[in-house]
Amino acid sequence: MSMSEFGIVYAIHIITVQFGSVVSKVCECLLRKGPLSSRDISRLAESDINHNKVKDILYLLIQHNCVQAFSIEPPDGSESKAIVQYIVLFNNILHRVRYNKFSRIVNEQLDSKCGAVLDGLLSNGRLTLGQFIERDRDSGNTIGSEAIRDSLQKLVAARFVERIPSPEPVLGNKEKEPAKRRGAKAAKILKEPETLEEQVVEAATPVDAIRFPLIFEEDSNSSLADDNSNITEGKRKQRDVDTSDSSSGVIWRPNFEEFIHRLRHKACVEIVKERRDEGCAIVLRAMLEVGRSQEKKVKTDNSAPMSVGSIYEEVIKTEAGRTMLQERVEACLDQLSATSSYLPAFVNEVNDSYIVDYKSIISVAQKDEIEAVVMRRYGKEAFRMFRYLSQEGRFVETDKIADAALTEKKDTPQFLLKMWKDGYLHMQKLAVTAPGMYTPFLLWKVNKLIVTTQMLDEMYHASLNLSLRLAHELEAEKELLLLPLDKLEGPLKERLKKVKAKRLLLSSTMFKLDDAIMLFHDF
């Protein structure tokens, strides 16, 4: 999905708050102009930034995983050298407001020491083991070099931390690449990346043996290694790759992809729990754990097939699932596989195996979010029209919409036009003609791609406004917040309580709004 206007403005705002206005000018230039060389940036940036300053800013943004350098291989016969260009990583900028969510995942699934090590990476962008230890010595709450080494190993084994990507990948020149014929099956598996950003990220990402080297040093029975990981392949590649960390020279960074992967799974479980029941949620959580290691991308439509036996084995590993008999698990799988007029199947049964349909689960939550906005903004009548058109999935005439939504025919066009003007509906004008007769009429349809793009842009706008409001509130009460608590009495103490309550409300609203952004953009 391409960046929207408010998506760009929101990303610029995040960079401005965290790095300052000068850095944000370079970032804005890349967001609006696309990939550029450092000299082009210094020429096109809207403020007077010399070339050396631009290079320093680019190194800073690379350090914090917001920009990636790359070059494109020159055509055959060309004597020109490949020019290094820089592309902004829009997704990674958005991830910067999710660091609290990432820390919570590690603290819950590993331990607080791993959380402390991750926090150091999130704050500094990239670190070596030696830099981790040095930071720990300088801190007031030291945990020791051995604890740091062990925690780092756990984080890499869980894929929360990865080795940094290639600093400057070279993309192949498409003009010189011969057309490759692939069979229908291969075409489904090998999909071309949709955007240049995805191509650059894919080219920069090393193989797993290099990306997660500590995993392949573990014994295959280790609790730190994924049982279903491609250990054999990693050990085979290890002959050609030095995966040792003895020199402390390996540079590490957070693996945002894995965090979004875990948050997507968590969201799916919450959706199923809300739309089905607790038992179905327990079974789905077990299915996600069984198939997690086989999912190579976050936006996977379906999981790998899994048997009832493997699902049940995972269910009884959890405290909540120990009381469940296999018969109960099978009943939950039947529930998850059932369809109705208002809910699709969340799990598909194929040849005695079960496959999680992520696309169906996420689409239900997206539909709920969109319909909630339509209800708040346009009222019950418009909501019924929108839901009817969503279910139909085709162009429908105005009078038929009025009949289905049980609304007055004279009022129906007004509601439809309001939603069309705001981008929630697609309209088509047609006419019936005959000798001496001309009868125009309108057809309406929900275009999901347009609606989700519109919703996402509105959510970026709302997040921007909330962030600006929070900054304004804190700036207005800056002096009060700096006063020692023991010196606050009477009205000042009450005022501080109100300021903290307002800050908590704005922060929690931003937190929930970001969950909705992930639902449409990342999941």
What is the domain-level CATH number for residue 76? 1.10.10.10
Domain end, chosen from 412, 431, 446, is at 446
Judge contact between 41 and 26, C-beta under 8 A.
yes
- Asked if 75 and 10 sit in the same domain, the reply is yes
Domain end, chosen from 424, 446, 468, is at 446
- Asked if 273 and 351 sit in the same domain, the reply is yes
The answer to whether residue 228 sits within a structural domain is no
pLDDT at 26: 95
DSSP letters, 376-403, are HHH-HHHHHHHHHHHHH-S-EEHHHHHH
Using one digit for the tens of pLDDT, what is the confidence trace for 397-450? Answer: 999 999 999 888 889 999 999 999 988 999 998 877 777 676 788 999 998 888
Domain end, chosen from 121, 149, 171, is at 171
**Amino acid residing at 273:** K
Distance CA 331, CA 262 (A): 26
The answer to whether residue 275 sits within a structural domain is yes
Task: Look at residue 191 and tell me whether its pLDDT is greater than 60.
Answer: no
Q: Going by C-beta distance under 8 Å and a sequence separation of 6 or more, which residues neighbour residue 74?
A: 80, 81, 82, 173
Task: Look at residue 239 and tell me whether its pLDDT is greater than 80.
Answer: no
- Asked if 390 and 473 sit in the same domain, the reply is no
Is the torsion defined by CA of 472, 477, 478, 481 positive or negative?
A: negative
Distance CA 456, CA 225 (A): 37
**Amino acid residing at 448:** K
Judge contact between 210 and 191, C-beta under 8 A.
no
- Asked if 420 and 497 sit in the same domain, the reply is no
- Give the residue carrying structure tokens 């331990």: 111
- Give the residue carrying structure tokens 């290094």: 84
Judge contact between 41 and 30, C-beta under 8 A.
yes
DSSP letters, 231-271, are HHHHHHHHTTS----TTS--EEEE-HHHHHHHHHHHHHHHH
Distance CA 511, CA 523 (A): 16
More confident residue, 457 or 242: 457
Among 476, 460, 470, residue whose Cα is nearest residue 507: 470
pLDDT at 122: 96
Give the percent of the chain with pLDDT over 70. 87
**Amino acid residing at 311:** I
pLDDT interval class at 76 (50, 70, 90): low
Strand partners, 396: 444
Residue 282: give the domain boundaries. Answer: 257-362
**Residues counted in the chain:** 523
pLDDT at 95: 97
**CA atoms within 13 A of residue 48's CA, in its CB half-sphere:** 0
First-to-last C-alpha distance (Å) of the chain: 12
For residue 78, what are its two tokens? 């060309």
Distance CA 39, CA 238 (A): 40
The answer to whether residue 212 sits within a structural domain is no
Judge contact between 287 and 318, C-beta under 8 A.
no
- Give the residue carrying structure tokens 């931003």: 510
pLDDT interval class at 326 (50, 70, 90): very high
Distance CA 48, CA 28 (A): 14
The answer to whether residue 507 sits within a structural domain is yes
Backbone phi, then psi, for 246, in 5-degree steps?
A: -65, -30
Provide the domain count of the chain.
Answer: 5
Using one digit for the tens of pLDDT, what is the confidence trace for 433-448? Answer: 777 676 788 999 998 8
| Reported pTM | 0.85
Task: Look at residue 219 and tell me whether its pLDDT is greater than 90.
Answer: no
Judge contact between 520 and 455, C-beta under 8 A.
yes
Section 465-492 average pLDDT: 87
- Asked if 349 and 386 sit in the same domain, the reply is no
Task: Look at residue 329 and tell me whether its pLDDT is greater than 80.
Answer: yes
Task: Look at residue 177 and tell me whether its pLDDT is greater than 60.
Answer: no
Using one digit for the tens of pLDDT, what is the confidence trace for 103-153? Answer: 999 999 999 999 999 999 999 999 999 999 999 888 878 888 999 999 999
- Give the residue carrying structure tokens 């120990």: 322
DSSP state of 277: -
The answer to whether residue 101 sits within a structural domain is yes
The answer to whether residue 285 sits within a structural domain is yes
Distance CA 349, CA 356 (A): 9
pLDDT at 140: 77
What is the β-pairing status of strands 437-445 and 426-434? antiparallel
